[in-house]
Amino acid sequence: MVDRVVAIDPALKTIHCKGLVPHESSIFEGHFPGYPIMPGVLLVEAMAQTTGWLVLARNRFDKMPFLATVKEAKLRTFVVPGQNLDLFSEILHEGSGFVVAKTHTSLDGKPICSAELTFRVLPWPEGRMKTTVLQVAQEVAFPVGDYVDA
């Protein structure tokens, strides 16, 4: 869902990512036949992934964020294959093992969707998971070296 981290500023608690909606995907077979539309739940997932990268940067990949709550999700228009989305997130609050963020997606500067997301932040359940996430981070141009101690 997130193809590239464009800009990240953990001090300001903000991130900007890009996500290209695939031209071909099994998700479009039933949603909808003859007129493929990106499911709203996957738009929320893309915003959650964007926020997750920011949370990982804030805690230097020491803990794993997972989506706990979606509030006030608003979907404003259809998203179709081939569109290149801008995904933004800003952390509003951190503490007691939780992070709350506001996030939104736009296309050519026009709003697509938005939500308030809450994440639970806990130790990695097992080491291989962190290793896999670090590999994916490199694939999406996340500046891993700036946030992970060697």
**Would you name the residues annotated as active-site residues?**
31
Q: What is the widest separation between alpha-carbon atoms in the chain?
A: 50
Eight-class DSSP state of 21 = P
Distance CA 94, CA 99 (A): 4
Q: Are 135 and 51 in contact (CB under 8 A)?
A: no
Eight-class DSSP state of 26 = G
Tokens of 129: 């998971």
